[in-house]
Each structure stands twice: as C-alpha cells, then as structure tokens.
Amino acid sequence: MKIYLNGKLISKEKAHISVFDHGLLYGDGVFEGIRTYDGLIFRLKEHIDRLYKSADAIKLNIPMTKIKMIEAIIKTLKANKLKDSYIRLVITRGVGDLGLDPRKCSKPTIFIITDKIALYPKEFYQKGLEIVTAPTRRNYPPALDPRIKSLNYLNNILAKLDAIKAGTDEAIMLTYNDYVAECTGDNIFIVKDGELLTPPVEVGALEGITRDAVISIAKNIDMPVYEKMLKMEDVYAATEVFLTGTAAEIIPVVKIDKRQIGDGKPGTITLKLMGEFRKLTKVDGVRY
Ligand code: PMP
C-alpha cells in the first residue's frame, strides 16, 4: 500500500511521522473521510471545501492549493489501483516542540491514506440498527465547534464507548441543553408526519456531506425536508429514523434505548432515500 506523505508516495511500512507532530501531541489538525464508487470520487469538491473551511477555523494554512490537493488524492488512488475505496486526508499543524504554541510548527504535515472501505454488515441495512443515547454530551460549540472536522475526536470516542458499553455500535449525542445533535460519526434524520427532519448544524453537529446529499435528494423528489431542533421525545415518536455518513451512507435505525421505532423495520421513506442515494453515487463526483 502506498501512502502520500508530504508530497511523496511511500510504502505503508515507511510512512512515519514525528512524535513531535502536534497532530499527535494535541490533536491539532483537520481531516476528511471521502469515498469512491467504481472510480468516481463522491462529492469531492464538497469534501475539499469542508477541509479548507475546517483548517481556516483553526487558523491552519494548508500550503497547497485545492487543485493540487485533488491531484495528490488521485495520484494516491491510482498508485493503489483502487476503484471502491475510503480516502483519509489528514493535515496536521506539523512538527513543533512540547509546548502548545502553533507558531513553533513551521510546516503542516499532509498525508493521504487510500484503503478498502470497512462497512457495517449488510444485515444492518436490511434489518436496521439498534442504537442508544450517549450520556456523553456533544462538544459545546463556543468551546469547540463540531462543525470543525478536527483531529480532536475524543468527545466522539467517549460517546462511542457509551455505545459499546450498551452493546450497540452507535449513539445519539445530545447538546448540553438536551437537543439532539448527531451521532458519534454520523448525522441523524427522523421522519415524522411524513416530513423529513434533521437538527440544524448550529446546535453542534458536523455539516455532513451525506446529510447534504440526502437533503438535496429529498428536495428533488418533493419530499418535505426541514432542519429542526429535536428532543429525544421527537426521535422516540418518529415513524422512521436513519443515520447518514460517508462510510455508513444511509443506515436505518429501528431501536433506540431499547424502544422500537415505527414498526421496527426500515421504513419506506428510508428505503426510497437509500435507493436514490445509490443512484447519486454513480454520477455525482470526480472521475479518475
Ligand atoms: N458527524 C460526525 C461527527 C462525523 O465524524 C461524520 C463523518 N464520519 C458525520 C457526521 C457524517 O459526515 P459525512 O456525511 O460528511 O461523512
């Protein structure tokens, strides 16, 4: 496997970064997770834009144009002869000293890993997922805005541990004041009275690329879709619930905190959106 590291393609075994890299010491950096489908990089422009926005938010100047970044991704994909893959694009503050001061880091570290995609088992898509509400709250946006896709994922990992403790694979994270934010690595949608609802990202959620794709699909097929502040009562009372994310795509949820959602099976609106999303992955992206 070839890894792109600071301008060079090198073997996985030789792709090392310094123990003084602030990405490692402090989680000081940003990243993206991108998917390719049969030689098409899904919504690449949107991922690149979000990466540069995240970097801007932490005042990290990526020393590479967006076009050069796209070229580096394509070069890495081609070197690994991958058609269906998961791309992990990481920019750290770079090598510094043991203090926090980002000014001590003269050059960001850039690396790109392209690998086979690890998926949820097929039966989760057919039967639906069971999840829980995490006791761990989502980061308070004025402290660390969840819209920044930073290398600081401890908040999400703590909630993932909550999910694992409860014997499930995902968990809903609430805001400090009890609104639904998102899951540990996915956004959340509910269907209520025939309307598709998802929390606004301002409450404290990542503006998911898959979330945006689902909203645009819904609008295209005249399905009412709104951003709305949601409480757990709304989620429990929903007829359908599903999660969205680059790796998960659209995954139905049929049980939350041991309560059955709807009739306990993936709902018709969810299934319709899954079908439409599949079509979109065949056309919406950059060919390489
Ligand atoms: N929320 C969080 C916290 C995430 O890490 C992700 C990405 N895995 C998502 C939502 C979904 O975003 P996207 O659809 O862009 O993958």
- Could you tell me the mean pLDDT of each successive run of 10 residues in the chain, 288 residues long? 98 98 98 97 98 98 98 97 96 98 97 90 95 98 98 98 98 98 98 97 98 98 97 98 97 98 97 98 94
Any atom of ligand 1 within 6 Å of the Cβ of 185: yes
pLDDT at 123 (0 to 100): 93
Any atom of ligand 1 within 6 Å of the Cβ of 139: no
pLDDT at 120 (0 to 100): 85
Q: Which of 59, 69, 68 is nearest to 32 (CA)?
A: 69
d(CA 60, CA 166): 37
- Return the H-helix or E-strand segment holding 259: strand 259-260
Ligand 1 centre distance from Cα of residue 187 (Å):
6
pLDDT at 112 (0 to 100): 98
pLDDT at 118 (0 to 100): 76
Write down all domains in the chain, each with its CATH number in brackets.
Answer: 2-115 (3.30.470.10), 122-283 (3.20.10.10)
Here the tokens at position 3 are: 């890894």
pLDDT at 114 (0 to 100): 97
Residue 285 near residue 44 (C-beta atoms within 8 A): yes
pLDDT at 216 (0 to 100): 98
pLDDT at 93 (0 to 100): 98
Residue 187 near residue 193 (C-beta atoms within 8 A): no
Any atom of ligand 1 within 6 Å of the Cβ of 32: no
Whether pTM > 0.75 for this model: the answer is yes
Neighbouring residues of 106: CB distance < 8 A, sequence distance ≥ 6: 94, 95
Here the tokens at position 96 are: 């510094």
pLDDT at 119 (0 to 100): 77
d(CA 255, CA 243): 12
pLDDT at 99 (0 to 100): 97
